[in-house]
Structure formats: structure tokens, C-alpha cells
Amino acid sequence: MSTSQSENASAAARWKLRPLDTPDDMAAAEALSSVVWPGSELDVVPGHLLLTIAHNGGLVAGAFDGDRLIGFVFGFLGLDERWYPAKLKHCSHQLGVAPDYRSAGVGYALKHFQRQFVCAQGLDLVTWTYDPLMSRNAQLNIAKLGGICNTYRRNVYGELRDDLNAGLSTDRFLVDWWLVSDRVERRVRGTDDRQSTFAGLLAAGAHTVNPPGPDGASRPPSPEGLDRHPTDAPVLLEIPADFLALKAANRTLATAWRLGTRAVFEALFAAGLAVTNFVFEPAPLPRAAYVLTRPA
């Protein structure tokens, strides 16, 4: 059994995953949401709306440790107008995991529960948005699940008041998760032979937009000189390993990262590249980077 399969099977065995479809279920989801995104009760999705989604073709699913709800995911049917005629899809809006269960595979298990649900509806595409500067989310969405991205959206939600988002524009990646693609199947089976280390990518000819400075720390990128990178080679764009900590310590630098990555991602996407992988290495200094290639 592959690593990804073992992780998913272990999570399924340890925790109970099931749809949420009662008022009590939604009250628990509301309570967990206020813990995952603290600081603004106004931004908690109300239980009556979650019930409506669950009872009308959408999915609200939870992971339980005993009787405790430790994670949830929800989404609904949508139309993707990047195609003509518009393509029916599942729009995944939120995935939240209790702080003391993060990095334990709960989010990964919930996304695959969602995948099974959406495939059973006869759909092959799930989309969602996330902050491209959040390395933990990138590791799950891109590296582990096999999502891809070539769409950058500026300030999608306007000003949010919760502690995670307050103070910066809500720029987001739009992730495309093609559920039955060979790419996703390989990630699920753990048989993807992609280069997943900085050394391997650089040896394969990858070009780094913003390499670390002499102190080993990465810098906010600039679009200047991008046209000198050959577009047939992978491009590495580094981001902070812990953007929330950086934002708390230096809001000016956090803003520079937001504006710099915005400009570079938009330029690379316009040139026909897409985010197809993400690499994170914790030592000797934490490094995190997106891998952009020209899709087949």
C-alpha cells in the first residue's frame, strides 16, 4: 500500500467520517468554525445555510473522534463559466480542522470523502480558493491532492475580519481538482514520480524566481526579468514557510509578499504556466516553493 493510501486508510480507521445533515450537526460545525477562524462571529457560516446546502445536492461532511467533531468540509453544486457552455462542478467552500488535529491527516481524509461523494454524482471537477501564501494549505491542495492552478483572483472576499485574514487583501488561488485525471489518481495511489525536493528540481533545470539570500531567507519576488526564464523549464517561486507568523511580526513585509507574488503569479499564468506542484523542506532552514510548468 502506498504512503497516500496508508494515510487515508489510517484516518478512516481512526476517525468516523460521515455527512452532516441535522441541526445538532450544524451547531457543532458552527462551533468548530469559530475556533478554526477566530475573531469574527459574523464570518461563521450559519447552520441553517449548511442544512440547506446538505439537503439540496451539496455536501457537508464531518470527521469525528468519538463524539467530537474535529473537522468538516462543505461545498455545493456550481457552474464554471470558464467553459462554454458552462461546466457543472462542485464548489468546495470551506475545510476546517480543529487546531489540535492539524497535520494528522484529517483534512486529507475529508477531501477524499468529498471526492467520492462528487464522483458518485457523475461530476469530475471540484474547485476551491485558498490564500497562495499559506504553505500548509498549498502542501495539501497541490502536493498531496494533485490540484492545479492557473487562475489568480485579487481580493476575492474583500475585507475579512477573522484573525487569519484581517489586515491584508484576500487574494486567492482558484484550484482545479480533476477527480478522475491520471494526475489525481497517481497522487491518491502515491505513485507519482514527480521531483519533490529542491535539489531534484534544480538538477532537472528548474529556474528560481526569488532564490534565498546569503542568510538563507527567501525574499518577496519581482516580475522583472521573468521573460528571461525559458518557459519549457519548471519555475520555482518561493513563499514564506510560515506566513501567519511573518504577518504577525512584520505587516509591511507581509504586504510586500502579497503584492510581489500577485504580480509574478499573474505574469506566469498569462505566459501559459500553471502551478502543478509544491515543495516544502523543513531543514536546515524551512523552505517552501511552488512549481510552475506548462501543462500538457
Domain enclosing residue 51, as ranges? 3-189
Strands 235-239, 16-19: parallel, antiparallel or unpaired by DSSP? unpaired
174 and 274 co-located in one domain:
no
136 and 256 co-located in one domain:
no
3-class secondary structure, 130: strand
- Residue 240 CA to residue 289 CA, distance in Å, equals 8
Each residue's pLDDT, cut to its tens digit, for the chain (296 residues) gives 445 445 555 555 679 999 999 999 999 999 999 999 886 677 789 999 999 999 999 999 999 999 999 999 999 999 999 999 999 999 999 999 999 999 899 999 999 999 999 999 999 999 999 999 999 999 999 999 999 999 999 999 887 665 555 668 899 999 999 999 999 998 888 777 565 788 889 888 899 999 888 887 889 998 887 766 666 789 999 999 999 999 999 999 999 999 999 999 999 999 999 999 999 999 788 999 999 999 87
The last residue of one of the domains, among 152, 170, 189, is 189
The last residue of one of the domains, among 189, 207, 235, is 189
Residue at 164: amino acid letter: L
176 and 222 co-located in one domain:
no
For residue 193, what pLDDT is reported?
59
15 and 127 co-located in one domain:
yes
150 and 49 co-located in one domain:
yes
* Per-residue DSSP letter, 200: H
Whichever domain contains 33, its CATH number is 3.40.630.30
Write b or e for each residue in 35-65: b if 16 or more Cβ atoms lie within 10 A of its Cβ, otherwise e. ebbeeeeebbbebeebbebbeeebbbbbbbb
7 and 66 co-located in one domain:
yes
176 and 229 co-located in one domain:
no
For residue 37, what pLDDT is reported?
86
Name residue 291's beta-bridge partners. 236, 277
Name residue 277's beta-bridge partners. 291
Domain count, the chain: 2
| Terminal CA-CA length for the chain | 28
The last residue of one of the domains, among 164, 189, 214, is 189
Name residue 127's beta-bridge partners. 91, 176
For residue 133, what pLDDT is reported?
97
219 and 237 co-located in one domain:
yes
Threshold 0.85, pTM exceeds: yes
For residue 48, what pLDDT is reported?
95
For residue 2, what pLDDT is reported?
47
Residue at 116: amino acid letter: Q
For residue 75, what pLDDT is reported?
97
75 and 213 co-located in one domain:
no
Strands 125-130, 152-153: parallel, antiparallel or unpaired by DSSP? unpaired
Residue whose entry in the numeric block shows the C-alpha cell 439540496: 56
For residue 165, what pLDDT is reported?
59
- Residue 28 CA to residue 56 CA, distance in Å, equals 20
25 and 80 co-located in one domain:
yes
175 and 43 co-located in one domain:
yes
184 and 249 co-located in one domain:
no
